[in-house]
């Protein structure tokens, strides 16, 4: 295996490093699934609202979409956390970390509610 962290890295740094790698892998697989799904959907049925809503209402679509949102937002948050910790100084660091967490949480909730609205609205 490759050596990416120093031998004396803290457990938190090691955990953070692994979370970034795992979410990157998950994002790669889920984005490939999404791109292939869109490609197949576009060639078979087109991209009208009814087709996309019906596609998004399927359980086997909702679950990967929710996983994609979760993994992407978490990966985004981890990456920006590193930038803030490396470059922000003083009390501003804590403020930026709070803003980052609030923004990531807001984006995640907004996306999850949008996906659920599509899924539940199409089923009703």
Domains and CATH numbers, the chain: 12-123 (1.20.1300.10)
Return the axis-axis angle of helices 49-56 and 11-44, rounded to nearest 10°: 140
Report pLDDT for 102.
98
Q: What is the pLDDT along the chain (124 residues), one digit of tens a residue?
A: 455 655 556 788 889 999 999 999 999 999 999 999 999 988 887 788 888 888 888 999 999 999 999 999 999 999 999 999 999 999 999 999 999 999 999 999 999 999 999 888 855 5
Report pLDDT for 121.
82
Report pLDDT for 5.
56
45 in Cβ contact with 51 (< 8 Å) = yes
The DSSP secondary structure of 90-108, one letter per residue, reads THHHHHHHHHHHHHHHHHH
Report pLDDT for 11.
80
φ/ψ (deg, to 5) at 59: -60, -40
Report pLDDT for 54.
87
Report pLDDT for 28.
98
């Amino acid at each position: 295996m490759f050596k990416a962290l120093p031998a004396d890295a803290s457990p938190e740094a090691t955990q953070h490093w692994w979370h970034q790698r795992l979410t990157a892998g998950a994002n790669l697989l889920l984005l490939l699934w999404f791109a292939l799904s869109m490609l197949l959907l576009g060639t078979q049925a087109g991209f009208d609202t009814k087709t996309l809503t019906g596609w998004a209402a399927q359980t086997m679509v909702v679950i990967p979409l929710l996983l994609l949102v979760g993994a992407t937002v978490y990966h985004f948050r981890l990456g920006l956390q590193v930038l803030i910790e490396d470059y922000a100084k003083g009390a501003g660091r804590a403020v930026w970390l709070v803003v980052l967490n609030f923004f990531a949480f807001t984006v995640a909730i907004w996306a999850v509610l949008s996906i659920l609205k599509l899924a539940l609205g199409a089923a009703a």
